[in-house]
Structure 1
Amino acid sequence: MHFYIPVLTSLEEPQNTKTFKLTYNEIDYTNQRMIMKTKLVNNALNYYLENQSELRNELLDFLRIPSISTSEAHQPDILLAADFLVKKLTQLGFEKVISFPTANHPIVYAEKMVDPQKPTVLIYGHYDVQPTDPLDEWNSPPFEPQIEGEYLYARGSSDMKGQIWASVSALQSILRTTELPVNIKYILEGEEEIGSPSLEPFLKQNKALLSCDIVINPDGGMLAPDKPTLIYALRGMAYFELRVFGPSADLHSGLFGGVVDNPANVLSRLIGGMHDELGRVTLPGFYDRVREISPEESEELSKIEIDEEVYKAITGVPALGGEVGFQPVERIGARPTLDVNGLYAGFIEKGAKTIIPAYAMAKISTRLVPDQDPEDVEKGFRAYLEENAPESVRWELDLLSGAPAYLAEAEAPGVSFFIDALKQTWGVQPFRKREGGSIPVATSMKDILGVDSIITGFGLPDDQIHSPNERMHLPTHAKGVQTLIRFFLSF
């Protein structure tokens, strides 16, 4: 079954159409339906408010599980987190709940089918979390959740156990007070933080099981606590490791300095040449396939005011940078970038050691926009190195991972309902934006399942995800639950 929600694209009356007037009986029936739906929503909202503490305590238990996917030592914790979700979804009344084994970590699938003729919403999430290093920068243990003021501090609170729990809380509030008007499926993986190696094969092998009309992906975020946000585009990524080799072993910089090229110096020069004075990436062909945004979209994005002072405060930088000629909101989501993510060369411990290192290494990521291809970027990268690297060194370049950008259809099913739910909850018109990050599963689901994703989430820019002292803003999370209640009851 395919479910499509009409979207009004013009205020002009269609040509050659008849005008219909509702009878009093039809108006009365419509009003009764609206009153009944409002009552159902209010009952679910009241349940949530009355049971908020209990639901939060369950989230705290979930956050106490150190489900770090990057470490084999935490494999038992990964299994514990998957089992936690299986038990909770079973408790909620999902008829089919399965923990599918993979080559690495389980994928939890659940479904509650109320009527095959009704639309089906598939909710994506990941229960694995990032490592906690450096531990000494945490103000409290990362897996001992702490509530301070309006914030809940713990690893995974915002990314993304808290986001999973928003939908769980919303569904419990509905199921304990009424019946669902829509079918619900969950797909919850434990490998997102290691690149989701098992997810795409699982999608391909289980297309029928995962068939749906709408995908909700809450791995996005909001612009600010007072700015509800819907994301319609994501940047892709090509992630590289570049290694530059010089002498066969570290050399004395006094005896050999001046006659042997230093790989660290060469790498620094190569990196320094990857941007021009306007902030543009200099890899050959890098912009050849960039899909430029329309003037209309640029005008729409300009409604998202980027307060440079706020960004400076969040990031701690003295001034913003980036590609000249584009407004900040475009540079964040609609323009491609290249960034060095890590560097290693020579002696980096405390003290001094005067050497010419044998090699130097950099990890470099490029964020891509629609129509750019990671393999094309790799070709341009190699061409840049062949042209600019001196013959006195040799180099190696590996494309470690790559994913194309994602762009949803403006009229994707469910979008109008979700925008309305955001508007009712926050009392303001939601913002639509391009997100600078990458969520490869959105592209995979569109390619394999043929369904666009509603990319949302109730995290904030200063939640410090992937960093010490990760946190979740509790009032925003509560509004997120209320939004999801309204959305699920919209059908």
Structure 2
Amino acid sequence: MTAVHDDITMHIEGRHAAILEDFQALLRIPSISALPTHDADTLRAADYVLGMLRKANLEHVQRIETDGKPLLYADWLHAPGRPTVLLYAHYDVQPVDPRSEWNSDPFAPVIEDDYIIARGACDDKNNLTAIIHATAALLAEGTLPVNVRFLIEGEEESSGEAIEAYVRAHAQELASDIVLIADGGIAGHDQPQLEYGCRGMVYVELIARGSQRDLHSGTYGGNAPNPLFALATIIAGLKKPDGTITIPGLMKTVRPPSEAEWANWRKQIPRFEADMAADMGTPLVGDPVQSPIMRAWAQPTLEVHGFVGGFQDDGSKTVIPAEAKVKLSLRLVPDQDPAQVLKLLQKRVAKLTPPGITTEIVNLGMGMPFFTDPTSPAFKASVQALGAEFEKEVWLARAGGSVPIATTLQTVLGADTVMVGFGLENDGAHGPNEHTHLPTFFRGVRSFARMLRAFGEIPGAH
């Protein structure tokens, strides 16, 4: 480790209390972007992050109003001859349902042993806090090794439409050589990992309609179409019992992993499968032809997220509902096109729809898969920085989740793009009792600082 890295490490360690204070304060704000009842909270989170950017001594700090949740921008552009790095993260979080499965208030952070428990602890308020404080630590020395632009959104966990439109309309103002997406995870507390790809998504609500009103099941049962049964039939028809998706044409454009990818993945399989099984508490299931790591990283998936229809309250009511709904999503891999996949889904649903039922598919959001070159200068610099921090070989992986804006930033800005974060697969992102390991969180702050330093040393990057 070089002297300057030692200095940065000591500076960050001296700021642990202030970093943790910001992290906890941000976690206390229920910035659930998908629920309109939390719009005011989402704005509070945005304002808190603006304060963090100002405290970091960044410039041109501003809240950018959009048709959705505000974007946040800041920059520091005083490193002539050095690359410009756009730093991305998000301040919104997922809903907390089911609330009854939380052991504590999701928005009252609790520290137990070395873990902090709260919604957003590992997705993405840990990485957001870490990247801001890493930049602040470097800037406290009087300068930065690179030029930086921050672009932070508040809709990653819902539509993501605001940032998509803004980036396309303001590409020149956002011009950068490197994009660093502070959203993702690592393989273990002691095992660094860089993700060079993540899946895209098509998220829809499927509505089935039968009769013009709810019906008495005694009078009409046996003659009336039942939208709940219809949805059950359709959903069952989208997959075989072994998990194989039955949408014709879905696999046509899937890009298989290269031999080099497989060589790297094979080293990770034992830990990947053991960690996933331990976290779920059940055996791994799915398409028997594919390995679990392939199913998670390089194959599309289809999952059902919730049904609504008919009588939901306690007690009984013998009703045949007029309408039922189900929310489902497909995760997509390179080179699948969300718009084309939506058309394939619509065609398959139409074929599976029983007589007497009409169906409608409402598009709730789409995102492109992301893939970047793991041999690019920025990616290699990131590998070097993480390896120096963890003093271990860095595993290269794809992510099963989605970061909708990643491909847009990469293609519109024409920049080398790197995705890194410091949550673990079993940290409970999107689920009850979400948490993050605090020593790994602080390691993330140091790692981000090292990455910025390494970017500044890329020959000819500017």
TM class by shorter chain equals: over 0.9
Aligned with residue 280 of structure 2, among 302, 315, 330: 315
Identity, in percent, stands at 37
Pairing 1:258-297 to 2, within 5 Å after superposition: 258-297=222-261
Contact 2:374 2:380 in 1 (8 A): no
Contact 2:233 2:352 in 1 (8 A): no
Pairing 1:14-413 to 2, within 5 Å after superposition: 38-177=2-141, 179-307=143-271, 308-317=273-282, 319-413=283-377
Contact 2:276 2:425 in 1 (8 A): no
Q: Measure the CA separation in 1 of the matches of 2:47 and 2:78.
A: 24
Contact 1:130 1:155 in 2 (8 A): yes
Contact 1:374 1:404 in 2 (8 A): yes
Match of 1:21 in 2: none
Match of 2:425 in 1: 461
Q: Measure the CA separation in 1 of the matches of 2:23 and 2:136.
A: 13
Match of 1:18 in 2: none
Change (3 A) 1:282 1:108: same
Match of 2:460 in 1: none
Q: Measure the CA separation in 2 of the matches of 1:163 and 1:349.
A: 40
Q: State the SS of the aligned residue for 2:21.
A: helix
Q: CA deviation at 1:412?
A: 2.8
C-alpha distance after superposition, 1:144-166 (max 9, x if no partner): 22211101122222211111111
Q: Measure the CA separation in 2 of the matches of 1:127 and 1:385.
A: 35
Q: State the SS of the aligned residue for 2:364.
A: strand
Q: Measure the CA separation in 1 of the matches of 2:205 and 2:97.
A: 22
Match of 1:26 in 2: none
Q: CA deviation at 1:435?
A: 0.8
Contact 2:275 2:426 in 1 (8 A): no
Q: Which amino acid aligns with 2:165?
A: P
C-alpha distance after superposition, 1:132-179 (max 9, x if no partner): 334343322222222111011222222111111111222222222353
Change (3 A) 1:216 1:283: same
Change (3 A) 1:285 1:170: same
Q: CA deviation at 1:309?
A: 4.2
Bigger Cα Rg: 1
Contact 2:84 2:146 in 1 (8 A): yes
Q: Which amino acid aligns with 1:312?
A: A
Q: CA deviation at 1:282?
A: 1.0
Q: Measure the CA separation in 2 of the matches of 1:185 and 1:314.
A: 37
Moved more, 304-313 or 387-396: 304-313
Contact 1:240 1:400 in 2 (8 A): yes
C-alpha distance after superposition, 1:459-479 (max 9, x if no partner): 111222222322111011111
Change (3 A) 1:133 1:270: closer
Q: Which amino acid aligns with 1:341?
A: H
Consecutive unaligned residues of structure 1, counting only runs of 5 or more, are 1-36
Q: RMSD of the TM alignment (CA)? A: 1.9
Q: Measure the CA separation in 2 of the matches of 1:279 and 1:75.
A: 37
Change (3 A) 1:312 1:391: same
Q: Measure the CA separation in 2 of the matches of 1:278 and 1:414.
A: 40
Contact 1:219 1:456 in 2 (8 A): yes
Q: State the SS of the aligned residue for 1:462.
A: helix
Q: Measure the CA separation in 2 of the matches of 1:487 and 1:296.
A: 24
Q: CA deviation at 1:62?
A: 2.4
C-alpha distance after superposition, 1:44-89 (max 9, x if no partner): 1011112212221222222223323233443333333222222222
Contact 1:284 1:383 in 2 (8 A): no
Q: Measure the CA separation in 1 of the matches of 2:312 and 2:50.
A: 46
Contact 1:291 1:370 in 2 (8 A): yes
Q: Measure the CA separation in 2 of the matches of 1:181 and 1:118.
A: 7
Q: Measure the CA separation in 2 of the matches of 1:87 and 1:363.
A: 37
Q: CA deviation at 1:278?
A: 4.7
Change (3 A) 1:136 1:272: closer
Which aligned segments of 4 or more residues in structure 1 are displaced greater than 4 angstroms? none
Q: State the SS of the aligned residue for 1:147.
A: strand
Q: CA deviation at 1:109?
A: 0.7
Q: Measure the CA separation in 2 of the matches of 1:256 and 1:61.
A: 56
Consecutive unaligned residues of structure 2, counting only runs of 5 or more, are 457-462
Contact 1:146 1:153 in 2 (8 A): yes
TM-score (norm 1): 0.87
Contact 1:218 1:455 in 2 (8 A): yes
Change (3 A) 1:262 1:89: closer
Contact 1:229 1:433 in 2 (8 A): yes
Q: State the SS of the aligned residue for 1:179.
A: coil
Contact 1:44 1:174 in 2 (8 A): yes
Q: Measure the CA separation in 2 of the matches of 1:261 and 1:44.
A: 67
Match of 2:402 in 1: 438
Contact 2:128 2:182 in 1 (8 A): yes
C-alpha distance after superposition, 1:254-309 (max 9, x if no partner): 33322333222222122112123553211121112222223342232222124444
